[in-house]
C-alpha cells in the first residue's frame, strides 16, 4: 500500500490551480490539488500531514551542472573562496595542514582577480606552509590550480604536458594533476564528501542534480560511488553525464553508470579566469594568447553522430566564442542539411555557452539543443569592472545570453557548476532577472522555470511531466519561508508584467531589488513524495500517523 502525504494551508505555485492551498501525494505522485477546506476530508486517510502554515510550496529546483565530490570536499574542507590576499591564503593552508595531519590536501575557490594585490603563493611557499604535503588547490573556475612539489613528484610526467609551469598549472597539466589528486582520496573520504553534498543540496530545496563526471574531471569509480549512494530514497535524483568522446569503451561506461549520455564536461576549451577559454581574438589582459582549443568541429560532429546512433545524449563544455562556433559547426555537420528528427529528439546539450553569437543562438534553437547556463557567473564576474571585462574588454557585455536564447525559443536550463558557484538556486533566479546587460534579463517565472522544469526536460522527453505541480506529476517539491510574510506573497515581476486584469496566475515571491535581494529560506524538501529534508523550525508542522 502506497503512502499518502497531505499538504495543507499552503501557498502553492501551480499554473493549473493558481488558487490551490492543499495537495495530496500518493506514493511519489501528486493525485489531488484543491483548497485546505476540502482537504479536511482527506486528513484521516493520510499517513503524513504537513500543515504548511502559509509557507510557499513550489516544484523543487534542479541544479543542472554539478561536481558532487569536489563540492562535498569543499563543504567539509579547505574553502578558499573568501581569501583576499596571499598571507591569508597561506595562513589558512597552514592551519588546515595541521588539521589533516599529513593527508592529501584538497582545496578550492581562490580567485586572485578579486585580490587588491594579485600575487599568488609560490610553490615553495605552499611546500613550507604544509610541511611538504601533497597539495592540490583549484582556482574558482576549476580550470587551473596551485599545487605542491610533492604532488608533482608523485606524477613527474606532468612536466612535459601543455600548461605546466612553475606557478599556476593549466590545460592538460592541470587535468592530469587534478585526476591524480582526487584519485588519492580514500573510498571513505569520497563517500563522506558525496553524502555531505547530497544533504546540502536537499537543504537548498534542490530535488535533482546533473553530475558532470568523466575521465578528465573525476573518475569512473567516483561516478559509480555517487550513483550507488544516490539510489537511496532519501537523496535527490542524480542524473550522471560521462564527459568522454564516444567509443566502444566509453559507451560501455555510459551504460554501466546508467548515464544520460556522453556529454557534460567534455572540453572543447577551458575557462576565462584561467585564460584557457578559446577565443577568436586575444585576451585583453594577455594579448599573447587566444586560449586553448581541445577539439575540432569534425571531432564534435563524429561524437554527436555516434551518440545519436547509440540513442544517448551528446554534449560539450564550451565558453569562448571560438569554442561555441566549433561546437555548433560540428552539431550542424552531425544533424545534416535537413532536419534530423532523431538528432533533435535527444536534446544534445552545451554546458556554459557563455559567448554565443547571434547566429549561434539561432543555430542552437534550430538544432533542438539545450544550453546549461550559470546565472551566478554573470552576477560574480559580469558587471562593469569585473573579471570578464578585464579578460575581454567590450566583449564582456554580450555574454551569458539567456535572454536572447529564450527570446529565440532555445532551451535553457540553469545550474551552479558547484563548487565554482554555490548551490543557491533562488540567488541564481535573482541573478538571471538582473543580468548586467538589461537586454539579457528575463522574468522571474522564466528564470524559475529554467531552474526547475527545464532541468528535467534537459534530460529527455521521458521527464517532460516533471517540475510542475499538477495532478499526475511526480512529487518533487520544496517548501519555503518567504521573508516578507507567509500566505500573502507579493506579486513577482513576471506576474506584474504578464497578468491580465482579473486573470488567475501563479505568483512567485518577490525577490527584492538588484542590490537588496530577498531570498526565500528552505524549510522542507520532498523527493519522490518523501520528506527528505526538514528545517528545525518546521519539523513540528509534520505529523505522521499509523495506518
Cell of 226: 555517487
Mean pLDDT of 5-11: 96
Q: Does the pLDDT at position 2 exceed 80?
A: no
Distance of CA 357 to the CA centre of its chain: 23
CATH assignment at residue 476: 2.30.40.10
Burial of 101 (0-12, 13-18, 19+ CB in 10 A): exposed
| pTM of the predicted model as reported, rounded to 2 decimal places | 0.90
Same-domain check for residues 75 and 204: no
Q: Is residue 42 a contact partner of residue 393, using CB atoms and an 8 Å limit? A: no
450 in the same domain as 436: yes
| Domain-ending residue, one of 437, 463, 489 | 463
Q: Give the residue among 421, 339, 336 at the shortest CA–CA distance from 375.
A: 421
- Cis amide prior to 229 (ω within 30 degrees): no
Q: Could you give the CA distance from residue 235 to residue 215 in angstroms, rounded to a whole number?
A: 25
- Has residue 479 got a pLDDT over 50? yes
Number of domains, the chain = 3
Residue 493 has pLDDT above 60, yes or no: no
Instruction: Give the model's pLDDT for residue 1.
Output: 54
State the number of CA atoms in the 13 A half-sphere of 100 facing the CB: 23
Give tens-digit pLDDT for 500-544.
Answer: 334 468 899 999 999 899 999 999 999 999 999 999 889 999 998
Q: Are residues 49 and 115 in the same domain?
A: no
- Helices then strands, counting H and E runs in the chain, come out as 20, 23
Same domain, 74 and 126: yes
Q: Give residue 337's pLDDT.
A: 85
- Residue by residue, DSSP assigns 295-350 as --HHHHHHHHHHHHHHT-EEEEEE-SHHHHHHHHHHHHHHH-SS--HHHHHTT-EE
Measured CA to CA, the distance from residue 466 to residue 473 in angstroms comes to 6
Is 406 in the same domain as 491? no
pLDDT tens-digit map of 128-139: 999 988 999 989
pLDDT bin (cut points 50, 70, 90) of residue 419 is very high
Cell numbers standing for residue 72: 562535498
pLDDT at 198: 97
**What is the rounded distance in angstroms from the CA atom of residue 448 to the CA atom of residue 39?**
28
Residue at a domain's end among 463, 488, 513: 463
pLDDT tens column, 422-458: 999 999 999 999 999 999 999 999 999 999 999 999 9
pLDDT digits 0-9 by tens, 314-341: 999 999 999 999 999 999 999 998 778 9
Tell me the residue range of the domain where 251 lies: 190-463
pLDDT on residue 504:
65
Q: What is the mean pLDDT of residues 66-94?
A: 91
What was the pLDDT predicted at 87?
93
Beta bridge partners of 58: 478
Least confident stretch, 55-59, 115-119, 200-204, 346-350: 115-119
pLDDT at 484: 66
Unique residue bearing C-alpha cell 601543455: 162
Residues 45 and 110 in one domain: no
Nearest to 349, CA basis, from 182, 545, 212, 453: 212
Q: Retrieve residue 105's grid coordinates.
A: 590536501
CATH classification at residue 216: 3.20.20.140
- Give the Cα separation of 8 and 99 in Å (integer): 47
pLDDT of residue 547: 62
Q: 201 and 310: one domain?
A: yes
Q: Please state the separation of Cα 257 from the chain's center in Å.
A: 20
Residue 164 maps to which CATH number?
3.10.310.70
Confidence of residue 464 (pLDDT cuts 50, 70, 90): very high
Give me the half-sphere count of Cα atoms (radius 13 Å) on the Cβ side of residue 400.
29
In the prediction, which pLDDT does 451 show?
A: 98
Q: What is the mean pLDDT of residues 284-312?
A: 97
**Entry field: residues in the chain:** 547
DSSP element (H, E) containing 59: strand 56-59
CA angle 179-272-388, nearest 5°? 145
pLDDT digits (tens, 9 = 90+) for 148-184: 999 999 889 999 999 998 889 999 999 899 888 888 8
* pLDDT for 380: 94
Cell of 229: 549512494
Measuring CA to CA, how many Å separate 387 from each of 100, 113, 293, 383, 540?
33, 6, 21, 8, 46
Beta-bridged to residue 411, according to DSSP, are: 370
pLDDT in tens, 195-250: 999 999 999 999 999 999 999 888 999 999 999 999 876 899 999 999 999 999 99
At 145, the pLDDT band (50, 70, 90 cuts) reads very high
Both 50 and 197 in one domain: the answer is: no
Distance CA 247, CA 462 (A): 25
> Are 238 and 137 contained in the same domain?
no
**Rounded to whole angstroms, how far apart are CA atoms 288 and 290?**
7
> Residues near 239 by Cβ (< 8 Å), separated by ≥ 6?
208, 209, 210, 211, 259, 260, 459
Q: What is the DSSP letter of 269?
A: B
In what helix (H) or strand (E) does residue 93 lie, and over which residues does it extend?
A: helix 86-100
pLDDT of residue 502: 42
Asked if residue 116 has pLDDT above 90, the reply is: no
pLDDT at 489 over 60: no
The Cβ of residue 434 has, within 10 Å, a number of other Cβ atoms equal to 20
Cα(522)–Cα(253) distance, integer angstroms: 36
The pLDDT value recorded for residue 181 is 86
Do both 305 and 286 map to the same domain? yes
Edge-first strand order for the sheet with 144-147 is 78-79, 105-110, 135-139, 144-147, 169-170
Looking at the structure, tell me whether residues 480 and 391 fall in a common domain.
Answer: no
pLDDT reported for residue 88: 94
Q: Which of 164, 121, 111 is nearest to 391 (CA)?
A: 111
| Strand, coil or helix: 380 | helix
Residue in the structure block whose three cell numbers are 555557452: 353
- Strands 22-26 and 29-34, sheet pairing: antiparallel
- Quote the pLDDT of residue 491: 36
DSSP label at 159?
A: G
**Last-in-domain residue among 430, 463, 496:** 463
Same domain flag for 222 and 312: yes
pLDDT classification of 100: cutoffs 50, 70, 90: confident
Q: CB neighbours of 162 closer than 8 A, spacing ≥ 6?
A: 171, 172, 173, 292
Amino acid at each position: 500500500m502506497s503512502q499518502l502525504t497531505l499538504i495543507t494551508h499552503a501557498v502553492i505555485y501551480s499554473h493549473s490551480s493558481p488558487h490551490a492551498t492543499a495537495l495530496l501525494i500518493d506514493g511519489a505522485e501528486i493525485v489531488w490539488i484543491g483548497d485546505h477546506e476540502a482537504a479536511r476530508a482527506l486528513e484521516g486517510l493520510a499517513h503524513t500531514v504537513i500543515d504548511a502554515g502559509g509557507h510557499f510550496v513550489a516544484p523543487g529546483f534542479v541544479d543542472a551542472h554539478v561536481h558532487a565530490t569536489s563540492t562535498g570536499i569543499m563543504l567539509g574542507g579547505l574553502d578558499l573562496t573568501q581569501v583576499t590576499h596571499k598571507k591569508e591564503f597561506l595562513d589558512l593552508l597552514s592551519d588546515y595542514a595541521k588539521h589533516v595531519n599529513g593527508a592529501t590536501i584538497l582545496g578550492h575557490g581562490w580567485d586572485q582577480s578579486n585580490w587588491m594585490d594579485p600575487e599568488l603563493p609560490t610553490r615553495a611557499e605552499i611546500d613550507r606552509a604544509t610541511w611538504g604535503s601533497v597539495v592540490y588547490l583549484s582556482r574558482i573556475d576549476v580550470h587551473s590550480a596551485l599545487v605542491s612539489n610533492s604532488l608533482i613528484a608523485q606524477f613527474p610526467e606532468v612536466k612535459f604536458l601543455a600548461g605546466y609551469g612553475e606557478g599556476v598549472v593549466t590545460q592538460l597539466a592541470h587535468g592530469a594533476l587534478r585526476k591524480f589528486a582526487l584519485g588519492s582520496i580514500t573510498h571513505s573520504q569520497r563517500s563522506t564528501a558525496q553524502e555531505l553534498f547530497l544533504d546540502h543540496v536537499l537543504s537548498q530545496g534542490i530535488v535533482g542534480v546533473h553530475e558532470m563526471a568523466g575521465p578528465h574531471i573525476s573518475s569512473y569509480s567516483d561516478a559509480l560511488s555517487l550513483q550507488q549512494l544516490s539510489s537511496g530514497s532519501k537523496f535527490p535524483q542524480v542524473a550522471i553525464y560521462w564527459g568522454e568522446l564516444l567509443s566502444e569503451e566509453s559507451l560501455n561506461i555510459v551504460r554501466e553508470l546508467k548515464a544520460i549520455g556522453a556529454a557534460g564536461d567534455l572540453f572543447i576549451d577551458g575557462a576565462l579566469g584561467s585564460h584557457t577559454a578559446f577565443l577568436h581574438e586575444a585576451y585583453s589582459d594577455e594579448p599573447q594568447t587566444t586560449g586553448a582549443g581541445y577539439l575540432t568541429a569534425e571531432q564534435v560532429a563524429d561524437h554527436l553522430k555516434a551518440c545519436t546512433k547509440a540513442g544517448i545524449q551528446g554534449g560539450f563544455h564550451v565558453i569562448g566564442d571560438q569554442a561555441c562556433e566549433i561546437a555548433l559547426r560540428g552539431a550542424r555537420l552531425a544533424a545534416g542539411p535537413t532536419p534530423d528528427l532523431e538528432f533533435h529528439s535527444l536534446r544534445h546539450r552545451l554546458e556554459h555557452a557563455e559567448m554565443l553569437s547571434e547566429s549561434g543562438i539561432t543555430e542552437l534553437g534550430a538544432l533542438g539543443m539545450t544550453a546549461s547556463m550559470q546565472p551566478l557567473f554573470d552576477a560574480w564576474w559580469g558587471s562593469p569592472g569585473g573579471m570578464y571585462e578585464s579578460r575581454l574588454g567590450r566583449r564582456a557585455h554580450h555574454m551569458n545570453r539567456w535572454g536572447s536564447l529564450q527570446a529565440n525559443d532555445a532551451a535553457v536550463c540553469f545550474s551552479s557548476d558547484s563548487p565554482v558557484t554555490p548551490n543557491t538556486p533562488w540567488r541564481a533566479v535573482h541573478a538571471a532577472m538582473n543580468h548586467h546587460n538589461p537586454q539579457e534579463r528575463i522574468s522571474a517565472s522564466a528564470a524559475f522555470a529554467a531552474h526547475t522544469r527545464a532541468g528535467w526536460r534537459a534530460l529527455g522527453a521521458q521527464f517532460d511531466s516533471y517540475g510542475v505541480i499538477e495532478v499526475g506529476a511526480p512529487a518533487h517539491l520544496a517548501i519555503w519561508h518567504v521573508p516578507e510574510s507567509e500566505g500573502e506573497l507579493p506579486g513577482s515581476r513576471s506576474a506584474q508584467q504578464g497578468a491580465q486584469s482579473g486573470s488567475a496566475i501563479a505568483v512567485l515571491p518577490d525577490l527584492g531589488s538588484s542590490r537588496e535581494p530577498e531570498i526565500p529560506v528552505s524549510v522542507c524538501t520532498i523527493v519522490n513524495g518523501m520528506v527528505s529534508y526538514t528545517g528545525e523550525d518546521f519539523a513540528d508542522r509534520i505529523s505522521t500517523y499509523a495506518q
